[in-house]
Amino acid sequence: MSKTLLNASNIAHSFDYQLFSNIDFDLKEKESIAIVGRSGSGKSTLLHIFSTFIKPDEGRVTLFDQNIYNLSETKIEDLRRHELGIIFQAHYLFKGMSTLMNIEIATLLSNETIDNNLLERLEIKELMQQKIGELSGGQQQRVSIARVLSKRPKIIFADEPTGNLDKETAKLVMDVLLEYIEKENAALVLVTHDEEMARLCNKHFSLEQKELKELKELV
Ligand SMILES: Nc1ncnc2c1ncn2[C@@H]1O[C@H](COP(=O)(O)OP(=O)(O)OP(=O)(O)O)[C@@H](O)[C@H]1O
Ligand SMILES: [Mg+2]
């Protein structure tokens, strides 16, 4: 039996209006789950709830068998630093620093070492001495993915990680993410508008009419 890494039960949340309710979700080792849905349906909010950044109005999130609302701030910080890999729409790289420094900071904080193979796979190995500000948008996106994977997280939460990329590079990034979870017994939750990328995952959900529904087939 593969281990459950994330369980969410009965999640409901509203901002100005109710975004969703009664959401149940389970993520196991080696699973890759894509969440699709219209703009504004609450996908990013749900990802923030699953990854400890927003406390929902109702329901419970369990990460690695721990109810996260019973954990101290320090424990939550530890989880974020060591176990969770967060690739969000804005990618918080340090602009004035070199590419290498940006990745080194992540590995130092999590006591890991840089995986040169990964840099090669993402085609960013040649960019290490360049400043972030000198890279293209898609190169920066791949650096932020390298930075997250270098921490060796157990769960990767990715919000439109291929949004700025051409098809070929997007496929490359997806392949790297999927190989990573297979090799490290990790798991991926991917939010995307791109059905081709969603199709590469092994389960698919749609956030619509305030509910999260499993799609047996992607059209
Ligand atoms: N911090 C916040 N405060 C108030 N309203 C918010 C906040 N964050 C999100 N919202 C609102 O919640 C709704 C859902 O936002 P969310 O970012 O989760 O959507 P999404 O499905 O990720 O959309 P997109 O596909 O465009 O990224 C939107 O109407 C948004 O304005
Ligand atoms: Mg979003």
pTM: 0.94
Instruction: Please compute the mean of the pLDDT values over residues 112-118 and round it to a whole number.
Output: 93
Quickly count: other Cβ atoms within 10 Å of residue 30's Cβ.
17
Nearest Cα residue to atom 9 of ligand 1: 45
pLDDT at 92: 79
pLDDT at 70: 97
Q: Domain-by-domain residue ranges, the chain? A: 4-215
Please determine, for residue 123, whether its predicted confidence score (pLDDT) is greater than 90.
yes
Instruction: Please compute the mean of the pLDDT values over residues 195-201 and round it to a whole number.
Output: 94
Angstrom distances, CA of residue 110 to CA of 19, 114, 186, 205: 34, 11, 16, 31
Site to probe by mutation for ligand 1, drawn from 44, 48, 206, 211 as the one with most ligand atoms within 8 Å of Cβ, is 44
Longest dimension (CA), the chain: 48
67 or 111: which leads in pLDDT: 67
Evaluate whether the domain defined by 4-215 bears CATH number 3.40.50.300: yes
pLDDT at 27: 98
Please determine, for residue 214, whether its predicted confidence score (pLDDT) is greater than 70.
yes
Ligand 2 centroid to residue 113 C-alpha, Å: 31
Residue 98 pairs in a beta bridge with 131
pLDDT at 51: 97
Token pair listed for 10: 């009965």
Please determine, for residue 118, whether its predicted confidence score (pLDDT) is greater than 90.
yes
Grade residue 82 by pLDDT with cuts at 50, 70 and 90: very high
Grade residue 2 by pLDDT with cuts at 50, 70 and 90: confident
pLDDT at 216: 85
Site to probe by mutation for ligand 1, drawn from 14, 17, 43 as the one with most ligand atoms within 8 Å of Cβ, is 43
Per-residue model confidence as pLDDT tens digits over 147-191:
999 999 999 999 999 887 899 999 999 999 999 999 999 999 999
Please determine, for residue 122, whether its predicted confidence score (pLDDT) is greater than 80.
yes
- Name the residue among 147, 150, 186, 143 with its Cα closest to residue 33: 186
Any residues with Cβ below 6 Å from ligand 1, and which? 15, 19, 37, 39-45
Say how far apart CA 52 and CA 56 lie, in whole Å: 10
Q: Which residues of 63-86 are buried (b: 16+ CB within 10 A; e: fewer)?
A: beeeebeeeeeeebeebbebbbbb
Instruction: Please compute the mean of the pLDDT values over residues 62-76 and round it to a whole number.
Output: 97
Q: Is the separation of the CB atoms in 177 and 161 below 8 Å?
A: yes
